[in-house]
C-alpha cells in the first residue's frame, strides 16, 4: 500500500484529501487499514470558508467518516483555518504550505462543470500575492467562499488520484480527457495523474 511504502521509505505519509461527497466511501474504508497512523500528515486540497465543525466543511466529512476514528496526531491534521476573511484563511494556509514538503498523494474529485478542488472553469482567480493557494469568493458551487490549493501546488506530488463516480460526471470527464481546457488539465505532476472511475469513457 502506497502509504506504508512512503512511511517505510521516508518515515511519513503526506496526503491531500479531496472534498465533496465521493471520497466518503474511501474514507470509511481507510479507518480499517493496518498502518502507523502516527506517521500520517493530512492536508486539504480545498475547503469551504465556514467555521470549524460546520457540516459543509470538507474536513468535517473526513473527520466524521475516518479521522476521528484513527489515532493520527491532531497536530498532523492541517485544517484550513476560518480566519477573519476568506483571503486571510487562504494566506494562512499559503504560509503553512510554504513549509510543507512535496506531497506523497493528492486526492481530487471532479465537479459536473469540470471543476476540481475549488478551481472552477473560466478565468483563473487572481493570486493576490499567494503562491500556493487561492481565495475564491464567487464559486458557482455553494458555498461561494472557498480556499483552494492552486494547480501548481496540487501538482507538487508523487501521485495524484482523481476519484470520479456517477453518471452526472460523464460529460465533464469526457470533455477533460478529450482535451478541453478544464482545471484538471493544469494539474500535471511529473508522473501524470490516475483516474479512478466507474464510468466507461473515451476521448
Ligand atoms: C468541494 C470539492 C469539489 C468536489 C467536486 C465533486 O469542496 O466541493 O472539493 O471539488 O470534489 O465538486 O464533488 P462530489 O464528490 O460531491 O460529486
Give me ligand 1 centre to Cα 11, in Å.
30
pTM reported for the whole predicted model: 0.98
Pocket of ligand 1 (CB under 6 A): 18-22, 46, 48, 58, 109-111, 115-118, 141
**201 and 148 in contact (C-beta within 8 Å)?**
no
pLDDT value of position 108: 98
Complete edge-to-edge strand list for the sheet that includes strand 46-48:
46-48, 146-149, 133-136
For residues 112 and 50, give the distance between their C-alpha atoms in angstroms, rounded to a whole number.
Answer: 23
For residues 119 and 146, give the distance between their C-alpha atoms in angstroms, rounded to a whole number.
Answer: 10
More confident residue, 126 or 112: 112
Nearest-CA residue for ligand 1 atom 4 is 20
* CB-based burial label for 120 (10 Å; 0-12, 13-18, 19+): buried
pLDDT confidence tier of residue 203, bands split at 50, 70 and 90: confident
Mutate to test the pocket of ligand 1, among 56, 109, 143 (most ligand atoms within 8 A of CB): 109
Chain center to CA of 120? 14
Region 1-10: what's the mean pLDDT? 97
Radius of gyration of the chain (CA): 16
pLDDT confidence tier of residue 51, bands split at 50, 70 and 90: very high
**Grid coordinates given for 44:** 486539504
For residues 165 and 69, give the distance between their C-alpha atoms in angstroms, rounded to a whole number.
Answer: 25
**165 and 21 in contact (C-beta within 8 Å)?**
no
Please list, in sequence order, all residues whose beta carbon lies within 8 angstroms of the beta carbon of residue 76, skipping any fewer than 6 positions away.
40, 41, 42
For residues 17 and 89, give the distance between their C-alpha atoms in angstroms, rounded to a whole number.
Answer: 18
pLDDT value of position 127: 86
For residues 113 and 118, give the distance between their C-alpha atoms in angstroms, rounded to a whole number.
Answer: 12
pLDDT of 198 higher than 90: yes
pLDDT value of position 139: 96
pLDDT value of position 33: 97
**161 and 106 in contact (C-beta within 8 Å)?**
yes
Helix (H), strand (E) at residue 15: strand 13-17
pLDDT value of position 124: 79
pLDDT of 34 higher than 90: yes
**137-188 pLDDT, tens digit each:** 999 999 999 999 999 999 999 999 999 999 999 999 999 999 999 999 999 9
pLDDT value of position 123: 85
pLDDT value of position 47: 98
Residue 173 phi/psi, 5° resolution?
-65, -40
pLDDT value of position 202: 86
**57-113 pLDDT, tens digit each:** 999 999 999 999 999 999 999 999 998 999 999 999 999 999 999 999 999 999 999
Amino acid at each position: 500500500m502506497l502509504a506504508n511504502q512512503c512511511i517505510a521509505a521516508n518515515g511519513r505519509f503526506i496526503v491531500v484529501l479531496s472534498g465533496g461527497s465521493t471520497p466518503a466511501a474511501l474514507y470509511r474504508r481507510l479507518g480499517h487499514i493496518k498502518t502507523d497512523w502516527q506517521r500520517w500528515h493530512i492536508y486539504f486540497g480545498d475547503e469551504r470558508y465556514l467555521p470549524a465543525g460546520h457540516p459543509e466543511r470538507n474536513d468535517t466529512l473526513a473527520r466524521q467518516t475516518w479521522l476521528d476514528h484513527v489515532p493520527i496526531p491532531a497536530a498532523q491534521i492541517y485544517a484550513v483555518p476560518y480566519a477573519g476573511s476568506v483571503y486571510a484563511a487562504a494566506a494562512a494556509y499559503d504560509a503553512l504550505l510554504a513549509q510543507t514538503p512535496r506531497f506523497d498523494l493528492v486526492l481530487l474529485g471532479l465537479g459536473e462543470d469540470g471543476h476540481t478542488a475549488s478551481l472552477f472553469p473560466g478565468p483563473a482567480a487572481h493570486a493576490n500575492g499567494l503562491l500556493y493557494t487561492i481565495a475564491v469568493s464567487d464559486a458557482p458551487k455553494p458555498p461561494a467562499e472557498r480556499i483552494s490549493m492552486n494547480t501548481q501546488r496540487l501538482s507538487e506530488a508523487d501521485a495524484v488520484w482523481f476519484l470520479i463516480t456517477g453518471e452526472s460526471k460523464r460529460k465533464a470527464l469526457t470533455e477533460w480527457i478529450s482535451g478541453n481546457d478544464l482545471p484538471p488539465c493544469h494539474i500535471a505532476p511529473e508522473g501524470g495523474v490516475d483516474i479512478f472511475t466507474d464510468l466507461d469513457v473515451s476521448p
